[in-house]
């Protein structure tokens, strides 16, 4: 479960970075 949450958070960060760039 922790791994899944970590992946979800990382995905959100990646999307945020893409939006910023």
pLDDT higher than 80, residue 5: yes
Which residues make Cβ contacts (< 8 Å) with residue 5, sequence separation at least 6? none
Does residue 18 have a pLDDT over 80? yes
CA atoms within 13 A on the CB side of 2: 0
Token output for 14: 């990646």
- Would you state the pLDDT for residue 1? 73
Strands (E), 1-21: none
Between CA 9 and CA 11 the distance in angstroms is 5
pLDDT at 2: 87
């Amino acid at each position: 479960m922790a791994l899944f949450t970590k992946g979800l958070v990382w995905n959100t960060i990646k999307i945020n970075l893409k939006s910023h760039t």
